[in-house]
């Protein structure tokens, strides 16, 4: 058990009131650490430090190439500490160890991707008229705020912080109170670099305290948030009150659309993997299975067979499925399953599991729900657990209607050998990403990620994310 401190203005510090929050291992509910319960005062110190650092000649003197080197240095530190980071992520989040290793690999790739991009963010010239040189430059926005969710802390902090620093901004991070450990370790890597104080700051604490204070701080210039719709609305409104742009990724209820002509084995594997990753605690989880009616029985039989082979256990044991984060999340998932049990049929699972040696963890069997209305709660709301809800369709148009029948639009999968049908659906599905005959693409570091409708707005990942952290300036020079 370790007591941690926040990193503000180049120094490690307790919270202003010295209050702490317990950090628990989801696999066992064992206390593994204490973090500062950051206050509005702490957030103010961090933001003011970032604002001051942004204005210094020292930070302005860092060329784009220098910033790229800085990000490569962080990537190298992460690579050297890969085993430690994976074990921290598993202990903190509860996900299987192999999945934690994949998260570390993706996080390293974000720093390397944006390290390479740092000196390649270009401006433009505009042909206005003879004697007038008009050019457009991209400049950093200033202080960027990053509110990180609990389910993929290392990946998500890496993808936004790396892009922000690549473009010359200064950063304030608020990690999730439940899963702060890899963010704290990343803060240590930044502390080891010879950086101006205040370029990188990390505040820990509750979302409704430290997170709210950060979202509404008048000196931030941009906000990136990943989390629930309700919280996203709140932080977005807080930022907008100061006319601060926000990038919001707010979850999904993503469909896998399966046609009878699919590659059956590959499709079964993709569908199963998309709902059990991180015990279904994934915004892009393939939570809805839309299967061609004539193919339903054959396909479901194979999915159920695969569900029956899945193993459940503590994250460090590296089984197929780890625990639900905490009792609150567990109660919500089981509540949704019990409602579905009354409205439809549980084809597989649906029960709490006890894992020997980890009896105090919160484990749920992977679950398949059938026979509910497409308008039911289980079909419309994020469950954030390993729960797959099944629907059928007769033709492509009915599949499209079902795919678009929720308030979300983050990810969709289409499984078919008919390439014309696949492209047609990709052009009509209301979703920020559409995967054809695959799902997830191994993290997709280069692929812009974000949603339609209540899945949010703006894009993270890839080159598109750099737009979040730059602002355009037009300069017109009269020379004759």
Alpha-carbon torsion (257, 258, 262, 263), positive or negative: positive
For the CA atoms of the chain, what is the radius of gyration?
A: 23
Q: Which of 87, 209, 249, 382 is catalytic?
A: 249
Helical ranges in 367-480 per DSSP H: 377-380, 396-403, 419-428
Question: What are the residues whose beta carbons fall under 8 Å from the beta carbon of 15, sequence distance 6 or more?
Answer: 6, 36, 37, 38, 39, 42, 204, 205
CA dist., res. 189 & res. 195, Å (int): 11
Contact criterion met (CB below 8 Å) for 277 and 285 = yes
In 10 A of CB 311, how many CB atoms? 10
CA dist., res. 388 & res. 403, Å (int): 14
CA dist., res. 405 & res. 127, Å (int): 46
Alpha-carbon torsion (340, 343, 344, 349), positive or negative: positive
Annotated catalytic, 397? no
Query: What's the order of all strands across the beta sheet hosting 124-129?
Result: 124-129, 132-140, 470-478
CA dist., res. 51 & res. 63, Å (int): 19
CA dist., res. 360 & res. 279, Å (int): 17
Residue 2: both structure tokens together? 């370790």
- Calculate ∠ Cα 44-228-379, nearest 5°: 180
Query: Taking Cα atoms as reference points, which of 49, 435, 410, 93 lies closest to residue 232?
Result: 410
How distant, in Å, are the alpha carbons of 119, 183, 184, 274 from that of 67?
Answer: 8, 20, 21, 36
> Which residues are designated catalytic?
249
């Amino acid at each position: 058990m370790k007591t941690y401190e926040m990193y503000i203005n180049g120094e490690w510090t307790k919270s202003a009131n010295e209050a702490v929050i317990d950090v628990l291992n989801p696999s066992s509910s064992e206390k593994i650490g204490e973090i500062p319960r950051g206050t509005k005062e702490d957030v103010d110190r961090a933001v003011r430090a970032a604002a001051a650092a942004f204005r210094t000649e020292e930070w302005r003197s860092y060329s784009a190439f220098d910033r790229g080197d800085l990000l490569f240095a962080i990537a190298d530190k992460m690579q050297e500490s890969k085993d430690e980071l994976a074990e921290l992520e598993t202990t903190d989040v509860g996900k299987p160890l192999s999945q934690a290793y994949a998260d570390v690999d993706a996080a390293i790739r974000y720093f390397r991707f944006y390290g390479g991009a740092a000196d390649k963010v270009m401006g433009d010239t505009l042909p206005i008229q003879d004697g007038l040189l008009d050019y457009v430059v991209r400049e950093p926005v200033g202080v960027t705020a990053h509110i990180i969710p609990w389910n993929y802390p290392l990946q998500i902090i890496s993808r936004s912080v790396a892009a922000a620093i690549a473009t010359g901004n200064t950063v304030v991070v608020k990690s999730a109170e439940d899963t702060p450990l890899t963010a704290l370790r990343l803060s240590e890597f930044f502390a080891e670099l010879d950086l101006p104080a205040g370029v990188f700051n990390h505040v820990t604490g509750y979302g409704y305290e430290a997170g709210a204070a950060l979202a509404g701080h008048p000196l931030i210039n941009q906000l990136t948030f990943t989390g629930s719709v309700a919280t996203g609305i709140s932080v977005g409104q807080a930022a907008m009150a100061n006319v601060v742009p926000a990038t919001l990724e707010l979850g999904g209820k993503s469909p896998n659309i399966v046609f009878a002509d699919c590659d059956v084995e590959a499709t079964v594997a993709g569908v199963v993997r998309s709902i059990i990753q991180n015990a279904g605690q994934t915004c892009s989880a393939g939570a809805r299975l839309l299967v061609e009616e004539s193919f339903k029985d054959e396909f479901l039989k194979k999915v159920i067979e695969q569900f029956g082979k899945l193993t459940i256990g503590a994250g460090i044991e590296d089984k197929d499925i780890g625990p639900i984060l905490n009792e609150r999340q567990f109660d919500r998932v089981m509540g949704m399953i019990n409602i579905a049990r009354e409205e439809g049929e549980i084809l597989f699972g649906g029960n709490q599991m006890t894992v020997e040696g980890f009896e105090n963890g919160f484990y749920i069997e992977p679950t398949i729900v059938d026979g509910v209305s497409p308008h039911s709660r289980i079909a419309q709301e994020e469950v954030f657990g390993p729960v797959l809800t099944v629907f059928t369709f007769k033709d492509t148009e009915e599949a499209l209607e079902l795919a678009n029948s929720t308030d979300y639009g983050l990810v969709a999968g289409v499984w078919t050998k008919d390439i014309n049908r696949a492209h047609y659906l990709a052009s009509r599905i209301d979703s920020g990403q559409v995967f054809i005959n695959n799902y997830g693409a191994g993290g997709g570091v280069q692929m812009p990620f974000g949603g339609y409708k209540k899945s949010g707005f703006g894009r993270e990942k890839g080159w598109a994310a750099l737009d979040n952290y730059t602002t355009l300036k037009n300069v017109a020079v009269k020379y004759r």
